[in-house]
Amino acid sequence: MSPDYSESRVRVPASTSNLGAGFDCFGLALQLYLSVKATIDRQSTVDCTVSPVSGRENNGISLTSDNLIYQAMKYASVQEKLDLPSVRLEITNDIPVSRGLGGSAAAIIAGIKLFSLLCNHSLSDEKILQYTTELEGHADNAAPSLLGGFVVNCITEQNSVISLRQSWPDEIKILVIVPELHLDTKRARAALADQVSHRDAVFNLQRSALFAAAIAGRRPDLLWEAMQDRLHQSSRAGLVPGLAEALATERQPGLLGIALSGAGPSVVALANNRFQEIGQTISQSFQKQGVNTQVLQLGIDIEGCEVLPAS
């Protein structure tokens, strides 16, 4: 007789993407997590129930079957032509929602991974990235959340995803300044121009190449220039009070580079000292506009999506 339920647990890191010039190319996994336990209950009469367990960012998570984690499970089950039994999700989330820290990518990765575990159906990393990119539209957050570390991404003309993980220098630390307001990714995407000039395209190509070389060559002195951007940040800077001023923070000791985190509104700063002072300086740009912030000093997650022991 089969059991009435089975369960699996995963933990998925947040991520910051773009890192300035590397629009839709670069992603970096951060030590800030979404944890989910999924339990199959064969006696349930509904597709999905969701219970927030703990975590600073559980507010706003859908508690019904339109929850993104469940939607990702369902999507994978349809693509793989397998039935998904009724499931109960218990969520612990510390990733700020709609703040440019890869929360949706982490949720989708969690859902697809939980589908594969609960249905005992192995999926390669390549297939997980493919499905996540089909749902997200881009791979720059999904790849580091799945693989960990600093990841360079490319989508081919056949819509397959190439993701290459690179080492990250230990001496380069991450500060994330998180405004206490949301910015919908669709709105941030809609703010972008459909066409850019040849000059601006070359500007970003040069700096994204320089960023990858500076990280590989451990040349933090080059990151300030390498994180300059002409493709997306200026178009998004006006969507949030104080964001333009934060991105215009002047170079100072310890601050290696500054950029919009993903679609925003969070700002990511790379630094090697004076972390508290730098965080306060960037925060003041938002606070002058009446927007409160939290400053997070985060390590680099190198594990990516982890399967946790059943509780």
**pLDDT (mean) for 286-309:** 95
Mean pLDDT of the chain: 92
Six-digit token pair at 293?
């912030």
Q: Say if residue 245's pLDDT is above 50.
A: yes
The whole-number pLDDT of residue 208 equals 97
Asked if residues 34 and 93 have their Cβ atoms less than 8 Å apart, the reply is: yes
What is residue 2's predicted lDDT score, i.e. its pLDDT?
A: 44
The whole-number pLDDT of residue 246 equals 96
Q: Do 29 and 68 form a contact (C-beta atoms < 8 A)?
A: no
pLDDT for 289 equals 94
pLDDT band, very low/low/confident/very high, at 122 (cuts 50, 70, 90) = very high
Element (H, E) at 129: helix 125-136
Q: pLDDT-based confidence at 137, cuts 50/70/90?
A: confident
Beta bridge mates, 92? 35, 54
End-to-end CA distance of the chain: give it in Å, rounded: 22
Amino acid at 62: S
* 187: confidence class by pLDDT, cuts 50, 70, 90: confident
pLDDT tens for 78-102 read: 999 999 999 999 999 999 988 999 9
Is 211:227 a contact under the CB 8 Å cutoff?
yes
Residue 4 DSSP symbol: S
pLDDT on residue 211: 98
